[in-house]
């Protein structure tokens, strides 16, 4: 029993030392080479869509934390088993550690952005872990309290537990992993040069400013979200386990591919020197369930994308251009494909550098991200952008398309009730019902509300900002005692009314009316 416990403890300590050593080596090699990051990233990419959706639904933006905890729990379990094996057969235990090191190394090298040096953290980590396991297991068995041999020199009887030796080695391992792990993790999660490059950015005034948001666009009814979403509360959806921290001073953007007569390359300063536009654009995630939170509205500053593509010689397919897909690639190997025709149709597709008056936050794609009003994020809004390639939909499937999402995904006309909250208890009498509706680039024409499946009633629309932004609405309801269901639907300016048929988010966005059930006393 005691042996099992000591073996398990040895295994955990060996694992902790491995991870800490790997983090320390990753400081030199690059944060993407940390085995935790690499294995986590691979797990995210390999997760079936159903599970991914389930995770986004249940854990939201903390889905990655849950994944990391899962990986650590699995590792802890294996480490205990390897430790117990090592007590009985040290070479077998060490072989177990080596297998883990190999898995970490191969995974890191095979990441989309992997290079062969990314194997080092895992390999060094495995060596350190194996050494710790060897020493600790040796103290559990094999050596015991001091005795003397025939000649009077001290020896240890085989098979006894060297308590003191074990404690010393275990404490050293624990101390190393605590300090090394903390320092390594911290240094790997902040890149000082990237932070400095962001701090030094001064966004030029846009040549085409957005003007003030009309006062009537923001109803400010309690329980509603503000018209402009502050950066810290803007939803975040991406596959990055650690947020890429890109140094704007060394960042480059390439434009190349089919039909590009003039391949172009830009630095961050090159982009800032170009005429900039400022626009309010509402971004929505295809994973947003009916009534869900994955949509937000910000004031963006950016470089008009159509002008850049035209300089590169790109023509839309309707004018004979050979490329119908624009593939945006991020520094972390993500790919998103947008229709060239849409990007060039006159809407404010942009390479955004500013968000609500500041350089893009790292979490939202610093230094540069793409935005195409009217398209879901996964087919348009590449963060940490570094490469734009002109190709065709026939030739290339982007990341999410390979995972059963649709290659084309315009945002569906949708609406949401923000107040009252589901299952609220209300007092009888006038109750403000309010929320938001969106149909980016088509614009919201009207929003209607109905109670308990009755006739649809026109809601009062807030002033429209632009067709590319969401639009708030309100409805003053004369609430009578009882349990009631409130439903909402929107009609866009092409005259299409949101369908009541419920559809899940896969493959191209959810449909159905948002409904809220409340009790009135």
Ligand X SMILES: Nc1nc2c(c(=O)[nH]1)N[C@H]1C(S)=C(S)[C@@H](COP(=O)(O)O)O[C@H]1N2
Neighbouring CB atoms inside 10 A of 425's CB total 9
Q: How far is CA 317 from CA 171, 321, 324, 375, 441, in A?
A: 67, 4, 6, 18, 21
| 239 in contact with ligand X (CB under 6 A) | yes
> Which SS3 state, helix, strand or coil, does residue 189 take?
helix
- By CB under 6 A, tell whether 251 contacts ligand X: no
Q: Does 238 bind ligand X (CB under 6 A)?
A: yes
Contact segment (CB under 6 A) with ligand X among 222-230, 377-385, 496-504, 507-515 equals 377-385
Which runs of consecutive H residues, i.e. helices, occur in 89-162? 90-109, 120-140
Q: What is the DSSP letter of 511?
A: B
Which of the stretches 119-127, 140-148, 178-186, 327-335 binds ligand X when contact is defined by CB under 6 A? 327-335
Between 332 and 468, CB nearer to ligand X: 332
CB of 333 to Mo ion, least distance (A): 17
SS3 of residue 216 by DSSP: helix
Nearest-CA neighbor of 360 among 238, 248, 213, 210? 248
- Site membership for ligand X, residue 384 (CB under 6 A): yes
- Part in contact with Mo ion (CB under 5 A); list of ranges 92-100, 263-271, 278-286, 432-440: 278-286
Among ligand X, Mo ion, none, residue 364 binds (CB under 5-8 Å by kind): ligand X
Q: Is residue 56 a contact point for ligand X (CB under 6 A)?
A: no
Q: Would you count residue 169 as binding ligand X (CB under 6 A)?
A: no
Among 102, 172, 218, 236, interactor with ligand X by CB under 6 A: 236
341-347 contacts, C-beta under 8 A, 24 or more apart = 341/316, 341/317, 342/372, 342/374, 342/375, 343/305, 343/306, 343/309, 343/372, 344/306, 344/309, 344/310, 344/314, 344/316, 345/316, 346/306, 347/372, 347/373, 347/374, 347/441, 347/468
Piece of the chain touching Mo ion by CB under 5 A; list 40-48, 172-180, 236-244, 490-498: 236-244
- Among 120, 300, 378, 473, indicate the residue that binds Mo ion (CB under 5 A): 378
Q: Please say which residue, 83 or 359, places its beta carbon nearer to ligand X.
A: 359
378 is an interface residue for ligand X by CB under 6 A: yes
Interface with ligand X (CB under 6 A), residue from 120, 227, 235, 300: 235
Cα 317 to Cα 339: distance, rounded to the nearest angstrom:
9
Residue with tokens 């883990």: 100
Helix (H) or strand (E) holding 337: strand 335-339
Q: Which of 79, 133, 194, 237 binds Mo ion (CB under 5 A)?
A: 237
Instruction: Provide the token pair at 217.
Output: 């666009």
CB of 424 to Mo ion, least distance (A): 29
**Site map (CB under 6 A) of ligand X, residues 272-301, x = contact:** -----------x-x----------------
Stretch of 57-65, 266-274, 371-379, 477-485 lying at the interface with Mo ion (CB under 5 A): 371-379
- Binder among 64, 90, 185, 383 for ligand X (CB under 6 A): 383
Shortest Cβ 289–ligand X spacing (Å): 13
C-alpha atoms less than 13 angstroms from C-alpha of 260 in its C-beta half-sphere: 20
Structure tokens that stand for 423 in this block: 């299952």
Told to check if 381 binds ligand X by CB under 6 A, we report yes
Q: How far apart are CA 274 and CA 173, in angstroms?
A: 55
- What is the 3 state secondary structure string of 356-398? CCEECCHHHCCCCEEECCCECHHHCCCCCEEEEEEECCCCCCC
Nearer to ligand X, 376 or 475 (CB): 376
Mode of pairing for the β-strands spanning 429-438 and 471-479: antiparallel
What is the total count of residues that contact ligand X (CB under 6 A)? 18
Q: Does 136 bind ligand X (CB under 6 A)?
A: no
If binding is defined by CB under 5 A, does position 381 make contact with Mo ion? no
Contact (Cβ atoms closer than 8 angstroms) between residue 213 and residue 465: yes
Give which of Mo ion, ligand X, none residue 36 binds (C-beta under 5 to 8 Å, depending on kind): none
Q: What is the binding site for Mo ion (CB under 5 A)? A: 237, 285-286, 377-378
Provide the binding-site residues for ligand X, judged by CB under 6 A: 234-239, 283, 285, 330, 332, 334, 364, 377-378, 381-384
């Amino acid at each position: 029993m005691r042996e099992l416990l000591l073996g398990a403890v040895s295994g955990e300590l060996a694992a902790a030392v491995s991870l800490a050593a790997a983090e320390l080596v990753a400081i030199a090699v690059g944060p993407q080479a940390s085995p935790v990051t690499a294995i986590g990233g691979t797990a995210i990419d390999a997760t079936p869509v159903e599970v991914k959706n389930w995770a986004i639904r249940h854990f939201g933006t903390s889905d990655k934390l849950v994944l990391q905890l899962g990986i650590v729990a699995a590792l802890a379990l294996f480490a205990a088993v390897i430790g117990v094996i090592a007590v009985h057969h040290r070479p077998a235990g060490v072989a177990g550690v080596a297998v883990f090191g190999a898995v970490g190394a191969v995974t890191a090298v095979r990441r989309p952005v992997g290079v062969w040096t990314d194997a080092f953290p895992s390999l060094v980590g495995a060596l350190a872990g194996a050494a710790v396991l060897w020493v600790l297991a040796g103290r559990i068995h094999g050596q015991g309290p001091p005795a003397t041999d025939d000649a009077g020199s001290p020896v240890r009887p085989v098979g006894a537990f060297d308590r003191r030796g074990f404690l010393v080695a275990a404490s050293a391992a624990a101390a190393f992993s605590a300090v090394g792990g903390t320092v390594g993790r911290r240094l790997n999660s902040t890149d000082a040069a990237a932070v400095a490059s962001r701090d030094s950015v001064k966004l030029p005034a846009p040549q085409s400013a957005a003007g003030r948001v009309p006062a009537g666009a923001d109803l400010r009814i309690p329980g509603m979200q503000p018209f402009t979403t502050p950066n810290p509360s803007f939803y975040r959806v991406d596959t990055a386990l650690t947020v890429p921290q890109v140094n704007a001073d060394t960042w480059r953007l390439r434009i190349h591919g089919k039909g590009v007569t003039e391949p172009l390359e830009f630095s961050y300063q090159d982009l800032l020197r170009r005429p900039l536009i400022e626009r309010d654009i509402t971004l929505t995630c295809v994973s947003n369930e009916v009534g869900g939170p994955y949509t937000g509205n910000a004031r963006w500053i950016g470089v008009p994308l159509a002008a850049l593509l035209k300089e590169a010689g790109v023509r839309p397919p309707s004018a004979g251009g050979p490329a119908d897909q624009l593939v945006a690639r991020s520094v972390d190997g993500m790919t998103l494909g947008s229709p060239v025709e849409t990007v060039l149709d006159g809407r404010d597709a942009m390479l955004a550098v500013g968000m609500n008056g500041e350089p893009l936050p790292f979490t939202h794609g610093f230094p540069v991200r793409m935005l195409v009003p009217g398209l879901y994020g996964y087919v348009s809004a590449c963060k940490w952008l570094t490469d734009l390639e002109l190709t065709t939909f026939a030739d290339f499937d982007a990341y999410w398309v390979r995972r059963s999402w649709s290659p084309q995904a315009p945002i569906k006309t949708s609406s949401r009730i923000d107040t009252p909250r589901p299952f609220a208890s209300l007092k009888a009498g006038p109750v403000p019902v309010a929320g938001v509706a969106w149909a980016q680039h088509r614009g919201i024409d009207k929003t209607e509300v109905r109670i308990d499946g009755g006739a649809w009633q026109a809601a009062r629309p807030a002033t429209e900002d632009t067709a590319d932004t969401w639009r708030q609405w309100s409805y003053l309801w004369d609430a009578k005692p009882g349990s009631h269901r409130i439903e909402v639907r929107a009609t866009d300016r092409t005259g299409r009314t949101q369908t009541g048929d419920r559809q899940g988010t896969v493959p191209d966005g959810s449909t159905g009316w948002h409904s809220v059930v409340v009790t009135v006393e």
